[in-house]
Amino acid sequence: MSILTNGEPGKRYLLMGNEAIARGALEAGVSVCAGYPGTPSSEIIESLSKVAGNRNLYVEWSTNEKVSMEVAAAASFAGLRAMCPMKQNGVNVGSDFLLHLALSGTRGGMVIVPCDDPGALSSINEGESRQFARLLEVPLLEPGDFQEAKGITRWAFELSEELHSMVFVRSVTRLSHASGNVEFGELPQVNPKAGFKHDGFILDEMEGIITSAPVDYKHGLQHAKLKKAVERFENSPFNTYQGPEHPELILVTSSACNFYCREAIGLLDAGDRVGLLKLATTWPLPPKLIEKYLSMTDRFFVVEEVIPFTEENLKILAQEMAPRIGIKTIMGKRDGKLPMVGELNPDIVTQALAGLLGLEYKPQPDDYVQRSREIVTRAPNRELTFCPGCPHRASFWTINNVLKMDNRQGFVCGDIGCYTLSTLPTGFSASKTLHAMGSGTGVASGFGKLKQFGMDQPVLSVCGDSTFFASALPALFNAVHNQSDITMVLLDNSGTAMTGFQTHPGLKTGAMGQEVPAISIEAVCRSIGAKVKISDPFDIESTRNALFELLEENGVNVLILKQICTLSPEKKAKKKFEVRVMAEKCLGESCGCGRLCTRIFRCPGLIWNKDKGKAEINDVICIGCGVCGSICPNAAIEKKEVA
């Protein structure tokens, strides 16, 4: 019942960028789509999984990005069209495979869709996947609006199939997670038959074996493919120019920055002074097309996120063409006209362009700015926090308390998931290192070997259930095999909660809703010889005892804290307890409490009533987990089980 397959060709629908990419893949007749959840990419697979049944698709959430690429590549090898979406750092995870895939070539159309996150809106990095296209030497396409997100994705499959090379379609948060109107094309009637040909001539791309060797031959072939790609790029309708024939300045842009440039030109009413060259085929740049626009004027301003990628590539071409077209001034990030870090927006681009055009731009009247600034300081900021009733708050509460009581400067190596917030006060600042998926346990494994050098601090790592399968396992194996002394706390909330409850190998349901075998985390850990304990983080006391016991043990220990995420569809809106603060027992600010619940525990379901000097429960927000009832030092928070 999804618009994606129900919508009528020729009509326009409001789609999220990720849905537009999914529709593009459907219009291209995609058969297999595999990925690993990660904001801002997840909705591509999610929306495809909903229509898998009626389009005969195979959609899976793979264990991690590298595996998803391998799964998608197999489909391509068998002649099917395959797509593999991921968040930016997913490309890093699979880059070893991609490096070889670039050389080995592909058969059925194979499209990799990295969704970058400039400004790290929902990441802890703002890595650039475009750099990978250049590194791997594969074609890169960047849609500049919603319609293009669909159209370019569709085209990418054709291009890939023609070149026998994977193609990158790069999106960004502001496109993937924004929505716009998209006109639908036809859905093809496809019924492909999969088959892997492997006994033809060994070097035959379509019938021989698929590998990156012999490298010199395959690398040569790859360059021939790139050359062909450039030929196609020269005439691509997705590269557009808008503006006067003899502009003072040309803005060169791609992706979401296309919107900002258009906005800036509009706001400054500069449409007759500047041109806008929006590029969709950003690597390799098509030289003839570039030469044509470089010849139109002398000043260029490259607007892109995040690194000066096109700026640099453009400068290389401009230098090569200089004998014919003269010396050009190419501005952008390298000269500081635009910031090197963070995301851009219409305001940054407008101000920068105004500067280049000698204009002044004031978005709000001065007195309005002045007065609103005064007023806004009165609105308290919103700090990130775990949800009301989040199991992580309870888990980190206990982890913190145990480490503090243990009193040996123990610490947590953090990891990626909602529980990344444990570096902040909402997680009692328990996590002290934070890097890639699975790195918490890897780093812990290293710390756990430093006794030899006099380090006697207890070492903990935390890891979510999805992260466990995605990338913590090798680290855990490493710790066991190398006899590191660590305790891994597995925060098992039964789903990839952060990105919206996608499935993972520990669960009984697959991406398309089908029943699949669930792998037991506990059994895996036990089988490799780790000591395992399981506890419910809402049961503060037994969790504390379990953790204390494990801290006494050498070697690798695993504490599985099982409690389903508050937001999970299964749990939503079901209150376990009716909770109430008994004002007469609440100690408030006085010695003996000092507002533990609202000052330290800080579940958003609790309110500090300053006038009364008592804590209260906010009925709209409290989800009735009852944990605050067990942390109150004076048993002033009463919880009654809801029938």
Site residues (CB under 6 A) for ligand SF4, limited to 573-592: 579
Give how far Cα 22 sits from Cα of 18, 88, 244, Å: 6, 18, 35
Pick from 158, 298, 406, 522: which binds other proteins (CB under 8 A)? 406
Upstream peptide bond of 306 is cis (omega within 30 degrees of 0): yes
116 bridge partner residues = 172
306 or 603, CB closer to ligand SF4? 603
79 or 119, CB closer to other proteins? 119
Rounded Cα distance, 271 and 291, in Å:
22
Q: Which does 76 bind (CB under 5 to 8 A by kind): ligand SF4, other proteins, none?
A: none
Name the segment binding other proteins (CB under 8 A); options: 47-55, 92-100, 258-266, 293-301.
Answer: 258-266
| Chain length of the chain | 643
Give min distance, CB of 339 to ligand SF4, in A.
40
Pick from 110, 413, 627, 632: which binds ligand SF4 (CB under 6 A)? 627
Q: What are phi and psi of 639, to 5 degrees?
A: -125, 130
Binding of ligand SF4 at residue 617 (CB under 6 A)?
yes
Name the segment binding other proteins (CB under 8 A); options: 88-96, 100-108, 344-352, 503-511.
Answer: 344-352
Rounded Cα distance, 118 and 173, in Å:
7
Q: Which does 172 bind (CB under 5 to 8 A by kind): ligand SF4, other proteins, none?
A: none
- Report residue 286 as tokens: 């098509």
Among 76, 70, 71, which Cα is nearest to 98's? Answer: 70
Rounded Cα distance, 321 and 390, in Å:
59
| 3-class DSSP string for 552-570 | HCCCEEEEEEECCCCCCCC
Site for other proteins in 542-571 (CB under 8 A): 548, 567
Binding of other proteins at residue 574 (CB under 8 A)?
no
Q: Which does 405 bind (CB under 5 to 8 A by kind): other proteins, ligand SF4, none?
A: other proteins
Total residues at interface with other proteins (CB under 8 A): 80
Give min distance, CB of 607 to ligand SF4, in A.
9
Name the segment binding other proteins (CB under 8 A); options: 43-51, 174-182, 474-482, 555-563.
Answer: 174-182
508 or 599, CB closer to other proteins? 599
Rounded Cα distance, 45 and 354, in Å:
41
Rounded Cα distance, 250 and 234, in Å:
19
Binding of ligand SF4 at residue 332 (CB under 6 A)?
no
129 or 499, CB closer to other proteins? 499
Rounded Cα distance, 489 and 460, in Å:
7
> Which residues in 18-109 belong to E strands, given as ranges?
32-35, 58-61, 82-87
Residue 628 amino acid letter: C
Cβ–Cβ < 8 Å for 291, 234: no
Binding of other proteins at residue 578 (CB under 8 A)?
no
Give min distance, CB of 627 to ligand SF4, in A.
4
Give min distance, CB of 558 to ligand SF4, in A.
26
Q: Which does 300 bind (CB under 5 to 8 A by kind): ligand SF4, other proteins, none?
A: none
Pick from 618, 640, 641, 642: which binds other proteins (CB under 8 A)? 618
Sign of CA dihedral 323, 327, 332, 333: positive
Q: Which does 192 bind (CB under 5 to 8 A by kind): ligand SF4, other proteins, none?
A: none
Rounded Cα distance, 143 and 225, in Å:
21
119 bridge partner residues = none
Q: Which does 628 bind (CB under 5 to 8 A by kind): ligand SF4, other proteins, none?
A: ligand SF4
Site for other proteins in 501-530 (CB under 8 A): none
> What is the Cα 237 distance to its own chain's centre?
29
Give how far Cα 309 sits from Cα of 130, 133, 304, Å: 8, 11, 8
Binding of ligand SF4 at residue 540 (CB under 6 A)?
no
Angle between helical axes of 346-357 and 257-267 (0-180°, round to 10): 50
Give how far Cα 469 sits from Cα of 414, 531, 602, Å: 16, 18, 31
Binding of ligand SF4 at residue 626 (CB under 6 A)?
yes
Pick from 167, 307, 403, 603: which binds ligand SF4 (CB under 6 A)? 603
Query: Which residue matches tokens 């569709």?
Result: 154
Query: Which residue matches tokens 């006085």?
Result: 590
Binding of ligand SF4 at residue 114 (CB under 6 A)?
no
Name the segment binding ligand SF4 (CB under 6 A); options: 67-75, 350-358, 453-461, 602-610.
Answer: 602-610
Residue 601 amino acid letter: F
Name the segment binding ligand SF4 (CB under 6 A); options: 166-174, 371-379, 584-592, 625-633.
Answer: 625-633
Binding of other proteins at residue 435 (CB under 8 A)?
no
Pick from 347, 522, 578, 638: which binds other proteins (CB under 8 A)? 347
Residue 482 amino acid letter: N
> What is the Cα 470 distance to its own chain's centre?
14
Pick from 17, 85, 109, 389: which binds ligand SF4 (CB under 6 A)? 389
Interface residue list for ligand SF4 (CB under 6 A): 388-389, 579, 603, 605-606, 617, 622-628
